[in-house]
Amino acid sequence: MDRIELIAPCHFGLEAVLKREIQDLGYEISGTEDGRVTFYADMAGISRANIFLRTAERVLLKAGEFKAETFDELFERTREIPWERYIPSDGKFWVAKAASVKSRLFSPSDIQSIMKKAMVRRLQEHYRTDWFKEDGASYPLRVFLKKDVVTVGIDTSGVSLHKRGYREVSGKAPITETLAAALIMLTPWRGDRILVDPFCGSGTFPIEAAMMAADIAPGMNRSFTAEEWTNLIPRRAWYDAVDEAASRVRTEIETDIQGYDIDSSVIKVARRNAREAGVDHLIHFQERDVRDLRHPKKYGFVITNPPYGERLEDKRDLPDLYRAFGESFKRLDSWSAYMITSYEDAERYFGRKAQKNRKIYNGMLKTYFYQFPGPKPPRKDAGKGAD
């Protein structure tokens, strides 16, 4: 199994960002669909993908793909997969999640039950036993059915990759770490540029930006299900990936990253989260109203997740809030603004039309990523004469 295929699910609408990340790691893309990217790697690639990918929700080892229109077909085709290549005799295995779109088989519980029975039958024949203790490492499956095509992946990550390990407590309406990272990557912002989030909440945008600037891999400080798969991945592969990540960290850099929020309690949470992420020295958090948004320098970025008005009583406050945000932004000479919100009148009250508007699903919530790019700064060597 030198060459394997891995599946990386992501937020709908952000596949291109994840694809670029995977290619930057040196892996070949094998396919892109709504909400996921597949790619070729070796077993060590499981370690590297889990530790380095900022925008993937998890990493799955692709075990098989087939067509099934009946439960009998589902059983037989699942049974044909060589499960003994992946699951040892003491392995714990189950179908953790089944999702079906436009397929004849649509009951998740029935799909899960039948596939488990098929796996048991296959492994019983291979290991010549009638009963499995299942007291070893875990091999949870995640199954996708789309137009009767069944894609089977073994989950290498365990807890979703947006759980970096730094955010135990969140503010109201938190944005996930993976989504925040992907949205930052959609902008031209780089670590040597100014970034301000005037609705920072628990600090996710500033923290993810600081981790990018310092090249801190998002999975350095957490564990993964596949670490226990010693039958497939040598422990050395995990040590090597962590060593590679550690060698790239640059915490001595200087940044201008700021997070503001009107709620002092969430600012305390943001500071604590930044400490946990190891980037508190790279971010300035402050209790501040959006009406007081200002900065002396030009060519900065506002990247933010303003309130959506999830509760009916909050919606009444949104016009004034977005109007105040727009007025404050006008004072920022030559700046760019990027905001994700589900508020349909965001542009109207912000006071300008977005140059680009990307639809993104934040969980089940349809949101829009409004993009207001400003002018590019002059090149640092512009105006210098030739030597």
DSSP string, 42-69: -HHHHHHHHHH-SS-S--EEEEEEEE-S
Q: How far is CA 354 from CA 148, 207, 224, 334, in A?
A: 39, 25, 40, 15
Which structural domains are found in the chain, ordered by start?
4-155 (3.30.2130.30), 177-219+251-372 (3.40.50.150)
Estimate to the nearest angstrom the gap between the alpha carbon of 38 and the chain centroid.
15
Question: Whole-angstrom Cα distance, residue 196 to residue 176?
Answer: 18
pLDDT at 385: 46
- Helix, strand and coil percent figures for the chain, each rounded to 5: 35, 25, 40
Residue bearing the bigger pLDDT, 223 or 387? 223
Average pLDDT over residues 147-152: 98
Phi and psi at residue 20, in whole multiples of 5°? -65, -40
Q: How far is CA 269 from CA 205, 207, 273, 289, 303, in A?
A: 14, 12, 6, 17, 19
What is the token pair recorded at 90? 């003491």
pLDDT at 312: 52
On the question of pLDDT at 384 being above 60, the answer is no
Collapsing DSSP to helix, strand or coil, 355 comes out as coil
What is the token pair recorded at 232? 């497939």
pLDDT at 313: 57
Q: What is the average pLDDT value for the chain, to the nearest integer?
A: 94
Question: Whole-angstrom Cα distance, residue 132 to residue 89?
Answer: 7
Best CA proximity match to 263, nearest among 357, 173, 376: 173
What is the token pair recorded at 194? 């100014």
Condensed to tens digits (0 to 9), the pLDDT of residues 69-100 reads 999 999 999 999 999 999 999 999 999 999 99
Condensed to tens digits (0 to 9), the pLDDT of residues 332-373 reads 999 999 999 999 999 999 999 999 999 998 878 889 999 999
Condensed to tens digits (0 to 9), the pLDDT of residues 2-55 reads 799 999 999 998 999 999 999 999 999 999 999 999 999 999 999 999 999 999
pLDDT at 387: 40
Average pLDDT over residues 366-382: 88
pLDDT band at residue 118 using 50, 70 and 90 as cut-offs? very high
Best CA proximity match to 306, nearest among 292, 321, 316: 321
On the question of pLDDT at 122 being above 70, the answer is yes
On the question of pLDDT at 382 being above 80, the answer is no
Answer whether 270's CB lies under 8 Å from 255's CB: no
Answer whether 211's CB lies under 8 Å from 251's CB: no
Answer whether 90's CB lies under 8 Å from 135's CB: yes
On the question of pLDDT at 1 being above 90, the answer is no
Average pLDDT over residues 162-166: 94
Extract long-range pairs of 111-118: CB within 8 Å, 24+ residues apart.
Answer: 111/74, 111/143, 111/145, 112/143, 114/71, 114/74, 114/75, 114/78, 115/74, 115/75, 115/78, 115/141, 115/143, 115/152, 117/75, 118/74, 118/75, 118/76, 118/78, 118/79
Q: How far is CA 335 from CA 331, 366, 368, 371, in A?
A: 9, 27, 20, 12
pLDDT at 174: 73
Question: Whole-angstrom Cα distance, residue 131 to residue 89?
Answer: 10
Extract long-range pairs of 19-26: CB within 8 Å, 24+ residues apart.
Answer: 20/185, 21/52, 21/53, 21/54, 21/55, 21/56, 21/185, 22/49, 22/53, 25/49, 25/52, 25/53
